[in-house]
Amino acid sequence: MVQVYGIKNCDKIRKTLKWLKDNEIEHHLYDLKKEPLTREELEEFVHRIGLDVLVNKKGMKWRQLGLSKKDLTDDELFDQLLEHQVMIKRPVLVKDGAMIVGYDEEAFEAFVE
């Protein structure tokens, strides 16, 4: 089963869920607004794929918080991400210990095989 982490009303999440359904891939959505990651879960994500990959620096929340103008340490950036999980780049797909980030149908095909 593929675990999908994101926000239900996000266009990329909707496209991802449609792709998974169309390709008959069993999946479960974890809506980060309703089921935020714990500190330990987010630490695991960061450990596996890196903070730079996980943070969406082009999103609205990043701009609203003015984070591009701040010189944040990794710990400070992690704390911001933990508090504002809408800044997690979407989708995050997890399957059998592997993880990918971002909408890419070719990568999805290789990932689910």
For the CA atoms of 101, 104, 105, 107, the dihedral, rounded to the nearest 10 degrees, stands at: -60
What does the alpha-carbon distance between residue 55 and residue 51 come to, in Å, rounded to a whole number?
Answer: 6
What does the alpha-carbon distance between residue 86 and residue 69 come to, in Å, rounded to a whole number?
Answer: 19
Largest Cα separation within the chain, whole Å, is 44
Q: Quick one: tokens of 32? A: 């980060």
Contact 86, 52 (CB under 8 A): no
Contact 55, 83 (CB under 8 A): no
Task: Please give the positions annotated as active site.
Answer: 10
